[in-house]
Amino acid sequence: LCGKFQMFKFSKQTINGLLVCSSVFICGSCYCLNQKIQENLTKLPFHNRALELFSHHEKAVNALGSPVKIGAVRWYDLKKNYVNDHTCQWNLNVVGTKDAGVLVIRGKKVDNRWHLNLELQLEGVKQAYIIFEEPLSLDTKQEENQLKEEQHV
């Protein structure tokens, strides 16, 4: 058995070259995959709407300092960033010339429409600032009762 594998002897230089090439390929593939996921996440309808609402909120932009840079979604952090059929939450890092913080986007889908709440948490302040709060067409208890009635029918 050992005799068969002796014909595949590689020098240390060849093995090191293969390791470097495969490492570069794997890192490049992971980077491309991350970029593609980021691109797809930014195409979601509530994401664009939330950023539009945030950019039009003068007090938030002034508190951070213009221009404001918005960070990428950390899609692998499923406790802070998630999207399902009825709810979503994203934490986006925002950095301005004066301050930095986190833009928290929470949403609930009712009647095929996203209802968003935007909250800005600045780094130096423990208080969160509500930027935008969109009321739901039904309050939570009415919605729960309606769902229960539909299940019994």
Q: What is the Cα 141 distance to its own chain's centre?
A: 29
Instruction: Please tell me the distance from the alpha carbon of residue 139 to that of residue 142, in angstroms, as a whole number.
Output: 5
More confident residue, 127 or 12: 12
| Helix (H/G/I), strand (E/B), else coil: 16 | helix
* Tokens, residue 147: 């769902």
Burial of 35 (0-12, 13-18, 19+ CB in 10 A): exposed
Select from 3.30.70.270, 3.40.50.300, 3.10.450.320, 3.30.750.24 the CATH code of 45-148.
3.10.450.320
Instruction: Please tell me the distance from the alpha carbon of residue 23 to that of residue 3, in angstroms, as a whole number.
Output: 30
Report helix, strand and coil shares of the chain as percent, to nearest 5.
45, 25, 30
Residue 57 · residue 74 · CB < 8 Å: no
pLDDT at residue 2 is higher than 80: no
Amino acid identity at 82: Y
Instruction: Please tell me the distance from the alpha carbon of residue 56 to that of residue 44, in angstroms, as a whole number.
Output: 19
The pLDDT of residue 23: 96
Length of the chain: 153
pLDDT in tens, 40-85: 878 887 788 888 888 888 888 888 888 999 888 887 888 888 888 8
The pLDDT of residue 139: 46
Residue 61 · residue 78 · CB < 8 Å: no
pLDDT in tens, 85-115: 888 888 999 999 988 999 999 988 888 888 8
- The domain spans of the chain are 7-37, 45-148
